Amino acid sequence: MKSNHTKKLRLYIFKSNKHIYANLIDDEKKQIITSSSTISKEIKHQIKSFKNCTNAQIVGKNIGLKIKELGIKEIIFDRGNNLYHGQVKAIADATRNEGIIF
């Protein structure tokens, strides 16, 4: 018998004019499991200027740690309409550095 959780959770990246958001979404339950962004209180003090690759790395590391704490090892990376370049790549690389596979 298969486990109930055969579908992988999806890490969705959204960029606004000033901020970067990473949301881990369970599409079956239609809810956000955890998230991180340049305005998250636990990393807000590390953000020096508006969105750039350094800030994207901080967000990626933070979401990677949160996903790891939940005991999740594999996810689906959803970059939305963004190119896999610059900030999106920085988030992906930092998340992978925490041991998350996608």
Strands across the sheet with 20-26, in order?
Answer: 31-37, 20-26, 9-15, 75-78
Query: Token pair for residue 12?
Result: 């969705």
Residue 89 maps to a domain: yes
> Residue 71 is part of which domain span?
9-97
What CATH number should be reported for the domain holding residue 57? 3.30.420.100
Mind spelling out the 3-state secondary structure of 12-40? EEEECCCCEEEEEEECCCCEEEEEEECCC
Per-residue pLDDT, 7: 81
Q: Given this model, what pLDDT does residue 50 score?
A: 76
Residue 47 in domain = yes
Place of tokens 């949301």: 23
Number of domains in the chain: 1
As a whole number of angstroms, the distance between CA 7 and CA 75 comes to 9
Give per-residue pLDDT as tens, 48-83.
887 799 999 999 999 999 999 999 999 999 999 999
Does residue 4 sit within a domain?
A: no
